[in-house]
């Protein structure tokens, strides 16, 4: 047993027994190292202040640059570009074609380059694409830039989750992820506020109206990306703002929770890559995330349109502002749910409990055409859907061991989830207005299926762990080298899945 204690402003290991906890952890899935809570708290505060604000702002801008096309649509984008029929839906789909295609390859590049460099480069890239959208003159040019935007934004969510998993414990990760995942709901709130404010500004040359939305938001994104390029730290070893003792503590905290782990950032092996792609938890969680993204992205792209059909006599600015309150509620609920998850160190139960909010909300959409009831129904789905972004990705991270497996598993989860985003672009069709029975029915079915999948996964984990309790760990590992044991990842007989 080993403990970390704080002495005269520094940290030192105090041996409390003959066994070294990190070495023993190579055979059994339990943390054998006890860390001084005061030292941990000081480290955690530093991590929160140095890492979370910047990654949250970057992801906020990522989601704004993706979804501002919904606000631009209300401001005349389709009319100015001569778009008709299903061209708007097709434009949204093109973004997700590149987004899905480049998800896993670019996250392997992220591991190779390092997320501290890779994330800012992508931020600058999608900011430039957003600026370029302000100068398009027809539908084909818009589609080309949406395709490029999809490439640069593809790795952002999995890369950021993977990045933070290098710094935080499993129990800490969900709440920290929520601090940037809420950017999805904040993007909706700020998107409506920004769009209503920007539309009041005078144009610049040929850039006016909806084009100003893309220009201003794109410039802000590029500036933030440049700042991040010079300030985002790649890993604890390179963090100049940590003491040497804190760097050691940061690494040992992560290693102590991951069976057979001797280094936080491991060497790439195909075996570990495969473990991340074939994990039953990753596959099931990815399906839940896929279904949830039908709802999340559907709101991002079509909530302004839905609100316009509910209140057709309101001005465009008023319609934009009416999209803000649901997103604000979604932000608060996401933080509250993820904070509870952090304190309880549970994710599986919340994956089950979040879906019923949406199930009730979309039932209300389908049951009535009364304007105020339908507007009230927009508040229910947001109570649960945004928490899934943090819950699903942290659930996968908690149930994979190695850095490589987490990188591929998280990327796979987000990649598969974006098929849901692609489906969402065709959920709300012009002929189905104003009730949108197809879109609302699809969301009701998706959320109901999520509930069933999450419930099944919860009880499967309990049953699987009981089976593993009967296995002879030492006998199964006998004769294997440390590298072979590490390649087992979640197949390790001493590993236990987390709910």
Lowest mean pLDDT among 232-236, 239-243, 252-256: 252-256
Return all residues near 12 (Cβ < 8 A) that are at least 6 apart: 4, 5, 245
What letter would DSSP give residue 8?
A: T
Rounded CA gap, 249 and 2, in Å?
Answer: 12
Model confidence, pTM? 0.73
Of 111 and 333, more confident: 333
Q: Any idea where the domains of the chain sit in the sequence?
A: 1-45, 52-237+263-469+480-490
Per the CB < 8 A criterion, the answer to whether 60 and 193 are in contact is no
Rounded CA gap, 172 and 257, in Å?
Answer: 12
Nearest to 49 by CA among 241, 224, 183: 241
Tokens of 167: 């710094």
Which residue blocks in 354-436 are alpha helix, DSSP H?
A: 355-367, 371-377, 387-398, 403-424
Instruction: Compute the average pLDDT of residues 40-58.
Output: 91
Q: What is the pLDDT of residues 473-496, one digit of tens each?
A: 888 888 877 777 777 777 788 888
CB atoms within 10 A of CB 111: 21
pLDDT at 39 over 80: yes
Rounded CA gap, 397 and 289, in Å?
Answer: 14
Beta bridge partners of 34: 3
pLDDT at residue number 22 = 44
Nearest to 236 by CA among 403, 469, 375, 471: 403
Q: What is the pLDDT of residues 408-446, one digit of tens each?
A: 888 888 888 888 878 887 888 878 877 788 888 999 999
Per the CB < 8 A criterion, the answer to whether 33 and 256 are in contact is yes
**52-237+263-469+480-490 adopts what CATH topology?**
Growth Hormone; Chain: A; (1.20.1250)
Per the CB < 8 A criterion, the answer to whether 188 and 140 are in contact is no
Rounded CA gap, 175 and 179, in Å?
Answer: 7
Rounded CA gap, 315 and 304, in Å?
Answer: 12
Rounded CA gap, 81 and 91, in Å?
Answer: 12
Split at pLDDT 50, 70, 90, the class of 20 is: very low
pLDDT at residue number 6 = 40
Rounded CA gap, 65 and 430, in Å?
Answer: 24
* φ, ψ of residue 34 in degrees (nearest 5): -105, 130
Rounded CA gap, 103 and 59, in Å?
Answer: 16
């Amino acid at each position: 047993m080993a403990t970390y204690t704080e002495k005269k402003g520094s940290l030192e290991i105090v041996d409390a027994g003959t066994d070294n906890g990190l070495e023993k952890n190579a055979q059994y899935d339990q943390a054998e190292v006890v860390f001084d809570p005061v030292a941990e708290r000081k480290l955690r505060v530093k991590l929160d202040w140095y890492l979370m604000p910047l990654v949250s702002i970057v992801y906020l801008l990522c989601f704004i640059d993706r979804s501002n096309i919904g606000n631009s649509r209300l401001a005349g984008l389709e009319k100015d570009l001569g778009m008709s029929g299903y061209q708007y839906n097709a434009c949204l789909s093109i973004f997700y074609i590149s987004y899905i295609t480049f998800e896993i390859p670019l996250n392997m590049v992220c591991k190779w380059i390092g997320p501290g460099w890779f994330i800012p480069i992508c931020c600058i890239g999608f900011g430039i694409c957003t600026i370029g959208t302000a100068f398009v003159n027809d539908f084909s040019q818009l589609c080309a830039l949406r395709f490029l935007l999809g490439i640069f934004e593809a790795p952002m969510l999995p890369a950021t989750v993977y990045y933070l998993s290098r710094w935080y414990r499993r129990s800490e990760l969900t709440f920290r992820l929520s601090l940037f995942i809420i950017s999805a709901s904040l993007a909706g709130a700020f998107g409506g506020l920004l769009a209503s404010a920007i539309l009041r500004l005078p144009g610049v040359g040929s850039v006016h109206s909806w084009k100003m939305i893309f220009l201003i938001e794109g410039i802000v994104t590029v500036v933030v990306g440049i700042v991040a390029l010079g300030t985002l730290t790649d890993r604890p070893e390179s963090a100049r703002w940590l003491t040497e003792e804190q760097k050691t503590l940061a690494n040992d905290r992560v290693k102590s929770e991951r069976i057979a782990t001797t280094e936080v950032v491991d060497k790439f092996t195909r075996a570990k890559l495969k473990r991340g792609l074939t994990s039953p938890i990753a596959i099931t969680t990815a399906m839940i995330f896929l279904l949830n993204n039908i709802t999340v992205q559907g709101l991002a792209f079509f909530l302004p349109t839905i609100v316009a059909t509910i209140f057709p006599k309101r001005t465009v600015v008023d319609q934009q502002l009416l999209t803000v309150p649901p997103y604000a509620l979604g932000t608060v609920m996401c933080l509250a749910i993820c904070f509870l998850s952090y304190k309880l160190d549970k994710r599986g139960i919340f994956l089950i409990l979040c879906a019923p909010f949406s199930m009730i909300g979309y039932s209300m959409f389908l049951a009535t055409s009364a304007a105020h009831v339908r507007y009230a129904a927009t508040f229910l789905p947001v109570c649960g859907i945004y928490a899934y972004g943090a819950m699903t990705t942290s659930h996968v991270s908690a149930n994979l061991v190695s850095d490589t497996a987490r990188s591929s598993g998280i990327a796979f989860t987000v990649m598969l989830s974006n098929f849901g985003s692609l489906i969402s672009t065709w959920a709300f069709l012009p002929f189905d207005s104003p009730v949108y029975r197809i879109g609302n029915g699809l969301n009701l079915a998706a959320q109901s299926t999520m509930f069933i999948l999450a419930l099944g996964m919860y009880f499967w984990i309990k049953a699987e762990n009981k089976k593993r309790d009967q296995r002879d760990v030492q006998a199964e590992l006998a004769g294997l080298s440390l590298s072979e044991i590490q390649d087992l990842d979640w197949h390790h007989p001493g590993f236990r899945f987390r709910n």
